[in-house]
Amino acid sequence: MQRDLSQLTRELQKETCPRRVLDEVQRRVSADGHSPGWTRGLISAVATVLVLACCILIWRWPAGGNMQQSADSRARTLQNRVQIANQAAVAMELIGSIAAKAGAQSGKDISDHTLPPLLNSLQAAENKINRHIKL
């Protein structure tokens, strides 16, 4: 039994995937390739808007504490800051949703392209073992 098992182990180690299967997988992967360029552009645009908003906020920030502002001016300044903070929150939410969507898609792609060949290999190994045991 031990000798048969070692012989079966050697046979399984020699087992390789046929070239036609590798060619088919390569063809499918290249055909399914998608361009992630638009997400990079969108992320860059959102990051640029956020940087500009922060620069404007810093530039418009009062230079010193000795400036006398009226109550209306202070209220408008506070309202502007709240609006900028809300816009920044929306932009960050957008970036997060894009990142989550890209992560889900890449996970799906990985599972779609790696699980079937792995399952086929395991099934082939199981069939060889079962055929060997039945003999």
Asked whether the beta carbons of 4 and 133 are under 8 A apart, the reply is no
Residue closest to 127 by CA, chosen among 15, 6, 40: 15
- Whether residue 125 is predicted with pLDDT greater than 70 in this model: the reply is yes
Residue-wise pLDDT for 75-94, tens only, equals: 888 898 999 888 888 888 88
Residue-wise pLDDT for 17-73, tens only, equals: 677 777 777 777 676 665 556 676 778 788 888 888 888 888 776 655 445 557 778
What pLDDT was estimated at residue 103? 83
Q: Is 68 helix (H, G, I), strand (E, B) or coil?
A: coil
Asked whether the beta carbons of 77 and 69 are under 8 A apart, the reply is yes
Look-up: residue for tokens 């995937």? 17
- Whether residue 8 is predicted with pLDDT greater than 50 in this model: the reply is yes
What pLDDT was estimated at residue 108? 81
Asked whether the beta carbons of 84 and 57 are under 8 A apart, the reply is yes
Asked whether the beta carbons of 15 and 129 are under 8 A apart, the reply is no
Measured CA to CA, the distance from residue 34 to residue 44 in angstroms comes to: 19
Does the reported pTM lie above 0.85?
no
Distant-in-sequence, close-in-space partners of 77: CB < 8 Å, separation ≥ 6: 62, 69
